[in-house]
Amino acid sequence: MKDFTRRDFLKTAGIAGGGLVLSSSLLRAQGKKAGDTLNIALIGIGAEGEILLNSLLKLPNLNFVAVCDIWKPRCTYGFRRIFREVKQKPEQYEDYKDVIKNHAKDLDAVVIATPDFWHSPMTCDFLEAGVNVYCEKMMSDTIEGAKKMVRAARKSGKLLQIGHQRKSNPRYIFARDKMLKEGKVCGRIMACNGQWNRAVTKDLTWPKNQEIPEETLKKYGYKDMAQFRNWRWDKGLGGGAISDLGAHQIDVFAWFLDANPKNVVASGSKEYYKKDWSDNVMCIFEYDNPDKTQVFYQVLTTTSSGGGYFESFMGDEGTLKMSENPALTKLFKENNGPDWEPLVEKGLIGKVESTNADAKIADSRESKPPMEFGFPEKIPGYDPDKPIHMPHLENFLGAVRGENKLNCDAEHAYAAEAVVFKAREASESGEKLAFQASDFVVED
């Protein structure tokens, strides 16, 4: 139980750079191959940084060189987790520029999980210093910031993965490639809907004895501790719920439909929290695919009602309701659709025990409910016990080692996030906005 105690820490505290620690200078950020140990740093160890750290600590062949957070307790937390779980001793920093100054030449990769408005400057600086970057989404709080990241990746020739983690989720990859593309389970997908509904939450607080000094807050762009803790709602720092939550899901529609939207109309409400960004946003997109698919998406932060979070592809032969939560994932067959037994035999879909086939219809105008199917028992690469962010990190680290390509590089992430930026603009203006082909690419 007592695997590593405060006394052990004190005993080893003088062994900086040796003993338990792999000297970072032994490894170089070039010519990496499968199985090589990578030197990494983690910038930002808040709630999202902690989730990424949980996965990173389970991955092999990583040498944690540095952790960085302007909030000392969180930086210490990252250090202690790494020190105690993998017996490494990363250096602790407040300012990411010191990480670059002291470690860039040895770093293979950095993982950035800071507030949105820091993503672009940090990413660009690390890329310029020759370090591969995994950066949480949104790429930036502004579209200009996102463009700078794309250009920095091109110029540096380094890898930039954006944290749209569904892109590496084996269940999502299987659903897109096997169920929709190969099996065509949904038929013609004329409509989609998606949502992320969350219950009301209070502003985040902080222990009064752990406040960041005012001058430090100002140095890093926060007016006070309250803004530091609740930056997601503020213009100039974050992008609100449509950006925080919606970006994950709006990305999935374009990815699964193989198309970008033509236009968007949206409505936002700021009546509940009275913040800079909307509490609730509802959007309708028309996609530029052969079926001109209509997509409805909503993000609500005033209720958890309505079935949680999912992206639903509603075709004339079946409906696939995807969610990161496997329990919310469903597949329904329209009763007048083609026989799905061949798809079951081919392993493209699975059967479930319960079925709606014999459900009673209360009203003759009501259609008979669709029959329920599901995923096949085995999905390549899917491990139900693996944290949902881990495959995307593995994909990134694999790319650094030259084992695979990125699943969400800067160019693709930009195209996905351009949709979110415009949807947010539409929700603010109330106007129907059109997309141009140029909206999805970054000019040099």
Partner 1 sequence: MKKLLIVISSLALACGLCAKTLKIEVPPANLVGTPVPIKMTNLEPKAPNPEIEVPDDVTNVALKKPVTSSDDFPLIGELEYVTDGDKTAAEGTAVELMNGLQWVQIDLEKECEIYAIAMWHFHQQERVYHDVIVQVSNDPEFLTGVTTVYNNDFDNSAKKGKGENLPYIETNNGKVIVVNPPVKARYIRLFSNGNTTNDMNHYTEIEVYGK
Judged by the rule CB under 8 A, the positions of this chain that interact with partner 1 are: 1-9, 47, 54, 73, 76-77, 80-81, 84-85, 196, 198-199, 201-202, 204-207, 209-210, 229, 308-309, 325-327, 384
| Residue 31 burial class via C-beta count within 10 angstroms: exposed 0-12, middle 13-18, buried 19 and up | exposed
Tell me whether residue 198 or residue 270 sits nearer to partner 1 (CB atom): 198
Rounded to the nearest angstrom, the gap between the alpha carbon of residue 83 and the centroid of all alpha carbons in its chain is: 26
For partner 1, the closer of residues 26 and 200 by Cβ is 200
Work out how close the CB of 321 gets to partner 1 at its nearest, in angstroms, rounded to a whole number.
16
* Shortest Cβ 115–partner 1 spacing (Å): 16
Nearer to partner 1, 1 or 437 (CB): 1
Q: How far is the CB of 5 from partner 1 (least distance, A)?
A: 5
- Decide whether 142 or 302 has the Cβ nearer to partner 1: 302
Name the residue type at position 239.
G
Least separation in angstroms between residue 6's CB and partner 1 is 4
Q: How many CA atoms lie within 13 A of 217 on its CB side?
A: 14
For partner 1, give the closer residue by CB, 82 or 122. Answer: 82
The CA R_g of the chain, rounded to the nearest whole Å, is 23
Residue 125 or 234 with smaller CB distance to partner 1: 234
Distance in Å, CB of 213 to partner 1, minimum: 17
Closest CA to 369 of 341, 334, 320: 334
End-to-end CA distance of the chain: 56
CB of 280 to partner 1, least distance (A): 16
In this complex, which beta carbon is closest to partner 1, that of residue 199 or of residue 434?
199
What is the per-residue burial (b if ≥16 Cβ within 10 Å, else e) of 407-438?
bbbbbbbbbbbbbbbbbbebbbeeeeeebeee
In 10 A of CB 238, how many CB atoms? 21
- Cα-flanking dihedrals φ and ψ of residue 361, to 5°? -105, 125
Cβ distance to partner 1 smaller for residue 45 or 146 = 45
What is the identity of the amino acid at 300? Answer: L
Q: Smallest distance from the beta carbon of 245 to partner 1, in angstroms?
A: 8
Q: Do residues 326 and 384 lie in contact, with contact meaning Cβ atoms separated by under 8 Å?
A: yes
Nearer to partner 1, 309 or 421 (CB): 309
Residue 253 sits at φ, ψ, to 5 deg, of: -60, -50
SS3 content of the chain, % helix, strand, coil (to 5): 35, 20, 45
For CA atoms 245, 247, 250, 254, the dihedral sign is negative
Asked whether 269 and 243 are in contact (CB, 8 A), the reply is: no
Bridge partners, residue 26, by sequence: none
DSSP 176: I
User: Considering the complex, what minimum distance in angstroms separates the CB of residue 372 from partner 1?
Assistant: 19
Nearer to partner 1, 208 or 360 (CB): 208
Give φ, ψ of 398 to 5 degrees: -65, -40
**In this structure, how many other beta carbons lie within 10 angstroms of the beta carbon of residue 345?**
9
- Least separation in angstroms between residue 303's CB and partner 1 is 13
Angle at 413 between CA 144 and CA 283, to 5 degrees: 85
Least Å from the CB of residue 362 to partner 1: 31
